[in-house]
Structure 1
Amino acid sequence: MRNHAWTAAMPGVFVLLWSTGFIGAKFGLPYAEPFTFLVVRFVVVVVLLGAMVAASKAAWPRDLKLVGHLAVSGLLVHAIYLGGVFGAIRLGVPAGLVALVAGLQPLLTAAVVGPLLGEHVGWRQWLGLGLGLIGVAMVLSTRLTGVSFDGFGWDGMAFAIAALLGITAGTLYQKRFCTGMDLRTGTLIQYLAALAVSLPVAMTFETMEIRWAMPFVLALGWLVLVLSLGAISLLMTLIRLGEAAKVASFFYLVPPMTAILAFLLFGEALTPLALAGMAATAVGVALVVRAKA
């Protein structure tokens, strides 16, 4: 009974935790460049996960193909997605706009999930996906009013699009090739792969200078413990338990939740249009999730 209640609550907990990633990035990026920030984050995560794996004597994958698949998944979900989000925000793209671009993931997933995984996407799911997209646009429309390319360039938008492609491909790849992994050792392999790519990028294109101010330390701690360990584990579990299109639909709730957190933490206004958009998004997600129930 308790396990059933936790399984039912997992999507909501995931959305709440995942939404705080944009907040953590906003707090920490003024003190470190994006891939330098990610390198430090990945190093801390690898150390903590390594200690956890050693203490629990978790089983390592015996199949080298699975190790390779885990590495690819880690590159997509961690290096490319997080690198895209952090890079876009660092280059001046508003966090709301980055969230909106990433919020297109369910539509992109549904467009390719059938041919790749053989999952049927019915008309109710398409209706829910479309309604969710409309809701996301409504939530962020007032926050994006007046936004132009004066403050950022196409390079920033390229990072945001890379994040969208990374998390979409990563979700599909994880579902297709990595569902049999041990969460502890599998996640460690994924972060090691992401670190192996992010470190050379940081060393080549960034100064790797960090200002160890308290906001950066707090943001780093939150992103490591809550996002990299907590939310990612929930995501991998949700992918293992549900269809890829259904899991992807939960991401539609991230921009509205981010808007709520921004209102609570930074005093950003929530207009009636934004509230209506949140309702539309919730209905859209419900249609996608229940269409396959």
Structure 2
Amino acid sequence: MDLRTGMFIQMLAATVSIIPFTLGSGGFALPLTVTAVGSVVWLALVGSFAAFVLLFYILKRQPGASATSYLFLVPPGNRPGRSPRPWPAPQLSPAALLGFALAATGVALVTRNSHASARQPLEPPPK
């Protein structure tokens, strides 16, 4: 299955499965404020579209394990206040900084030699 098709099916399943929870917790009403509309636009454009484009770009250039290790940087990288959104957000705590540093260190260790190992041919199995 093509990656784009798989991602489309995942997003469709997520959308359908969240509808009952949305209806039970207040419906689809969205207040027309800068914060609410900005959040939806941010999630749609950056959180979904740009994230998939970036993931496919990285998957074309790196092996799967090192490419998907970047997903550990998504939560701290998308933390409120560190993105170019026009509204205020909470400050970053020392524990959050430590967590981000730990995740970044792990990703750096996994991806540091990914290009060199991806180019080396595999040896045939011993007979």
1:220 matched residue in structure 2:
40
Aligned residues: 110
CA distance in 1, matches of 2:41, 2:81: 22
Taking structure 1 as the reference length, the TM-score comes to 0.30
Q: How does 1:109-120 map to 2 (within 5 A)?
A: none
Asked if the contact 2:81–2:90 (Cα under 8 Å) also holds between the matched residues in 1, the reply is no
Structure 1's unaligned 5+ residue stretches are 1-65, 67-179
How much does 1:286 deviate? Answer: 1.4
1:286 matched residue in structure 2:
108
Asked if the contact 1:259–1:270 (Cα under 8 Å) also holds between the matched residues in 2, the reply is no
**Partner amino acid for 1:216?**
A
Q: How does 1:3-18 map to 2 (within 5 A)?
A: none
Work out which of the residue numbers 166, 176, 194 in structure 1 matches 2:14: 194
Asked if the contact 1:260–1:270 (Cα under 8 Å) also holds between the matched residues in 2, the reply is no
The answer to whether the aligner puts 1:208 opposite 2:27 as a matched pair is yes
Asked if the contact 1:238–1:247 (Cα under 8 Å) also holds between the matched residues in 2, the reply is yes
Q: Secondary structure at the match of 1:246?
A: helix
1:261 matched residue in structure 2:
82
CA distance in 2, matches of 1:209, 1:217: 13
Work out which of the residue numbers 62, 72, 95 in structure 2 matches 1:242: 62
**Partner amino acid for 2:58?**
L
| Larger-gyration structure (1/2) | 2
Q: Secondary structure at the match of 1:266?
A: coil
CA distance in 1, matches of 2:73, 2:64: 16
Q: Secondary structure at the match of 2:112?
A: helix
Q: Secondary structure at the match of 1:225?
A: helix
Higher relative contact order (CA 8 A, sep 6+): 1
How much does 1:238 deviate? Answer: 2.9
**Partner amino acid for 1:210?**
A
**Partner amino acid for 1:206?**
S
CA distance in 2, matches of 1:227, 1:212: 20
CA distance in 2, matches of 1:260, 1:281: 18
Taking structure 2 as the reference length, the TM-score comes to 0.57
Identity across the alignment (%) = 31
Alignment RMSD, CA only?
A: 3.5
**Partner amino acid for 1:261?**
R
CA distance in 1, matches of 2:109, 2:90: 32
Q: How does 1:1-293 map to 2 (within 5 A)?
A: 66=1, 180-181=2-3, 183=4, 187-203=7-23, 205-214=24-33, 215-257=35-77, 258=79, 261=82, 265-271=88-94, 275=97, 278-293=100-115
Structure with bigger helix share is 1
CA distance in 2, matches of 1:231, 1:195: 17
Structure 2's unaligned 5+ residue stretches are 116-127
CA distance in 2, matches of 1:225, 1:266: 19
